[in-house]
Every structure is written in structure tokens, then in C-alpha cells.
Amino acid sequence: MAELNRLVVEATGFGVRGALLDGDRLIEIVDVDAVGEQVAEALFLGRVAAVDRQLNAAFLEIGLERPAMLAAKDARFAAGSAERLPIGRLVREGERLLVQGVREAAEDKGARVTTDLKLMGFHLLWRPHGIGPEAGPARGAERETLRLRGETLFPGRAVTLRRHAARVEDAVLRAELERLEQRWRALRAEAEARRRPGRLAADEHPLERLLRQVLDPALRRIEIADPELAVRARALLEGPLAPHGIALVRLDPTKGAFAQTGVEAELERAMGREFALPGGGRLIVEPTAALVAIDVDGGGRPALETDLTAAAEIARILRLRNLGGVIVVDFVDLPNRRDRQRLEQTLAKAFRDDPAPVQIHPMTPTGLVEIGRARRGRSLDQLLARPCPACAGSGRIPSLRAVGEALWRALRANPVRRVRLAPDLARYLEGEAGPVFAPLRATLAITVDPALGPGGFAFETADGRAP
């Protein structure tokens, strides 16, 4: 069982990226964007562009490239209806709605949103349009205790206590609900004043959302290099997170947090194709359009020993890269039924802490095990890499997002104000990454240079030479 006792936080320009570690072992990467295409949990002012009665859904402009879908069952909360009604009775074209992202855009489908807004705190969840509390994540007696406590503290307020609430006093919970109510008033005021659909600036800071997502009793310290993020983290750790006793470690502000802590190197290895197994052997991981194929090579080790070692590493890699869908693993053959059952038990234990739902199927006679892992958000492969446009083959190069982040970090550290950009990168910075680079463009001389390779950039001094 992984003990996620360290969190390293890096500013990306788009928001923040957190690396969860068990000691020095990288377990998970969590991205939270304040700009860009990420929608999960974010709040938007939307405008109904079309009502599709056949699909029983509406399509909303929310400031992104593609409209978002609002199903009828998710539209009823803003309409004040407790019952499910046809979409035509709930919304109309041109109507403005406050919505929250529930699913990222994927392939040819836009994002999915809801009017069942959930304002999350560290210890509780409040639904402004809700009718009574929803079930919390805790189970059994713990859930019942939290439910009764929530109803006593906040009668009729549609408040759900999270499992972390058990560790804090009532005064902390009341103060947290007051902060959520203040945030709700700010969101409504911004939505009323806005003319165009888009992400609401009054939404919570990405660092707060990140810490809320990863909060765990085992988390002992947070490591940050960026001075602004460190100040925000200090305020949270000494404020609403004070009961959890999490320490803040300030890193060298002139260097990236991931580079200083070894996360950058670990992340680079995690994006590779081959992974060495402790004690010998290797994994070969091949994501494809249809599935993720994993081959276990024992390198001469005993079959069961190899497969049991591989099970833990497979669970870590899938979680770290956020790979989902159908995963087919070709283990070293185990003719003995008892050995196959032991492998299945080991796999189940290895995935026990995975935040995404996982289903493991029995091993086939040929040594194949199918694993189903729910797709949640973007995989690291989608976020940080892309097919090479030059060779149009199976090669992968850094994504425009990854290059944009590197350029943003370089511009913050480098006084040079002249830069040449490859055409594809220039288009990206004008489009999706526009809000990130808008503050820099006023003092930056940009030249589009077709001679640069895909995603390339180069700095120049005033006389046109490289610095």
C-alpha cells in the first residue's frame, strides 16, 4: 500500500502540477489548470446554443473550442425541478447558466457539464441548488456518523461532510461553509457581470483545488519552489489545513521544483516504453488507439516471482500515466492454478489505492490478463506528448502543451525578450495558450520561423544572435 507522504508542486503557467510520492517513489501526477481546455470541477458561465430534444440534452458555449453537453438530468437543478423533465422544459436557446465540468472532452466529443454545482472545501461539500445532503465517500458506521454530524451542524443546507471532517472541530467546519458561501456570491456576481461565456475567474485557485484533491492522512509535507505558490500554501496550511499538521518545505526559487526533487527525471522515465523490474526482468508498455498492451519479460527469473513483481509496477505505471480503457497484460505463463490465483490477488491489492475504478479479469490459459481501468481526464501521454508531424509514424515528440510550459518557464527566468517560434507553436500560443502568454506578449518580440522544427523556439539578443 502506497503511503503518499510527499507532494511536490510545480507552476505550469496553465495552473499547477502536483507529484505525489511515497518517499522517492513517484506514484501519481495531478494537473489542475486555471486556463485551457480542462473542465473537471471548474465553473463556467454557459450560454445555451442548441437544444436537442432527440438526445434530451442541450449544447452550451462555455468559452472553449467545442460546445459542452448538458443532459436533461443535469439541467434540472438550475431550473429548480426535483423531477426529471424533457430538456425542452428545462432550458431554452440563448439562456445563460452557471455550470460545472464533470467530464473532459475526448476525441470528437465535447466536455460534459452539470447545473448540480458542488462547491468543495477541504472538509465538506456544499450544493447551492441541492435538496439535502448526498452520500459521502466514507463507508458504514463512519459515513453514518458524518451524516448525522452534518445534519446537526447544517440542517437543510445540502452539506456533505468529507471523511477528513472527522479530524476537525465544528468551528473549522462552520468557517469553511462561510468561505464557500462567500465564493458562491462572488461567482454569481461575476456571472451576472460577464457578457460572454467562459471560465469564471472567481473560481478557487488551482493550488487549493490540488491540495483538496490529494489531502490524505499520510501526507506529511508539501515542497514548493515558486514563491507565490509557497505563500498561498503557507496560508492554507496555517488556516483551514492546520489540523492536519502538514509541513511546508521551501525549495530554491531559482530552479524548478520537479528538477530539484528528482521528479523531472522520474517523470521522463515514466513516459518511456521499457521499465526495469526490481530484481531483474522488464515491462514493455505500448499504448495504442484500441488498448494498452503490456508485455512482461522475466529475463530468466522464475515465472511467479516475475509476475508478482510486475503486478505492483503495472499498477503504479497505469496510475502515474493515467492510462485507462482496456489494458491487456501478457504475463509469464503460470500453468499452476494456485499461482494464477495468487497473481490475481496481488494485482487486486496493487490497485487497491488507485483513485480510478479498476476491474481485473482472470488469467487466460495463454497468460493474458485483461484489466479495465476507467478513463478519467487526460493521460500524461495525451498531455505531454504527440505523434511526430514530420514523420507521420509512430514516433512521439513533446506536445505543444509541454513545449508551451517549457517556454513559459524559460521566459520567467530569462531576460531575453526576442524569440523565434515554429509556426505550430505560434498558432498554439495565439489560441489555446493565449491566456497564459498574454501578460508576456506586450514586452516580447515574436518572429515566426518556418525553419524551426515542430514545436521549436529559440531566443535572440537585440542583434539577432542566440544568447
pLDDT of residue 108: 73
Q: Do domains 43-114 and 271-373 have the same CATH topology?
A: no
Among residues 233, 200, 228, 198, which one has the least CA distance to residue 215? Answer: 233
| CB-CB contact of 43 with 199 (8 Å) | yes
Cell 486555471, located at residue: 34
**Torsion (CA) 44, 373, 12, 187 in degrees, nearest 10:** 20
Cβ neighbours of residue 448 under 8 Å, at least 6 residues apart?
A: 420, 421, 422, 423, 426
Q: Do 251 and 55 meet the contact criterion of CB atoms below 8 Å apart? A: no
AA letter at 258: F
Distance CA 7, CA 244 (A): 14
pLDDT at 447 > cutoff 80: yes
Q: May I ask the CATH architecture of the domain 43-114?
A: Beta Barrel (2.40)
What's the CA gap between 269 and 250, in Å, rounded? 26
CA atoms of 360 and 373, how far apart (whole Å): 9
- Write down the pLDDT at residue 467: 52
Cβ–Cβ < 8 Å for 277, 331:
no
Alpha carbon distance 4, 16 (integer Å): 18
444 contacts 411 by C-beta, under 8 angstroms: yes
Residues 116-122, mean pLDDT to the nearest whole number: 94
Is residue 297 classed as helix, strand or coil in its secondary structure? strand
The string of pLDDT tens digits covering residues 245-271 is: 999 999 999 999 999 999 999 999 988
Query: Which amino acid, residue 373?
Result: R
Grid coordinates standing for 139?
Answer: 463507508
Amino acid, single-letter form, for residue 396: R
* Residues 318 and 350 sit within 8 Å (Cβ to Cβ): no
Q: Where are the domains of the chain?
A: 1-34+205-270, 43-114, 271-373, 394-460
Q: Residues 37-57: what's their mean pLDDT?
A: 93
What is the reported pLDDT for 425?
93
The answer, yes or no, to whether residue 315 has pLDDT greater than 90, is: yes
DSSP string across 383-433 = HHEEE-TTT-SS-EEE-HHHHHHHHHHHHHH----EEEE-HHHHHHHHTTT
State the Cα–Cα distance between residues 397 and 388, nearest whole angstrom. Answer: 6
Mean of the per-residue pLDDT values of the chain: 89
C-beta of residue 91 within 8 angstroms of C-beta of residue 49: no
Please tell me the distance from the alpha carbon of residue 164 to that of residue 138, in angstroms, as a whole number.
10
Spatial CA neighbour of 215 closest among 246, 181, 239: 246
Whole-structure pTM value: 0.87
Nearest to 399 by CA among 14, 79, 76: 14
Residue linked to cell 498554439? 428
Query: What is the reported pLDDT for 201?
Result: 83
Are 38 and 25 within 8 A, CB to CB? no
Q: Classify domain 271-373 by CATH architecture.
A: 2-Layer Sandwich (3.30)
Can you tell me the distance from the alpha carbon of 162 to that of 177, in angstroms, rounded to the nearest whole number? 13
DSSP notation for 2-71: ----EEEEEE-SSEEEEEEEETTEEEEEEEEESSSS--BT-EEEEEEEEEETTTTEEEEE-SSSSPEEEE
In sequence order, what are the residues at sequence separation of 6 or more whose Cβ sits closer than 8 angstroms to the Cβ of residue 289?
none
Q: What is the per-residue pLDDT across 362-386, written as a single tens digit (0 to 9) for each?
A: 988 888 999 999 988 788 888 888 8
Q: Is 50 helix (H, G, I), strand (E, B) or coil?
A: strand
Question: What burial class does residue 429 get, using C-beta atoms within 10 Å of its C-beta: 0-12 exposed, 13-18 middle, 19+ buried?
Answer: buried
The CATH architecture to which 1-34+205-270 belongs is 2-Layer Sandwich (3.30)
For residues 135 and 152, give the distance between their C-alpha atoms in angstroms, rounded to a whole number: 16
User: Mind listing the pLDDT tens digit for each residue in 273-314?
Assistant: 999 999 999 999 999 888 999 999 988 899 999 999 999 999
- Confidence (pLDDT) at 152: 93
Residue 388 has pLDDT above 50, yes or no: yes
Please report the pLDDT score of residue 83 as a whole number. Answer: 80
Closest CA to 346 of 330, 360, 367: 360
Q: Are 295 and 330 in contact (CB under 8 A)?
A: yes
Residue pair 332/307 in contact by the 8 Å Cβ criterion: yes
Residue-wise pLDDT for 208-249, tens only, equals: 999 999 998 889 999 999 999 999 999 999 999 999 999 999
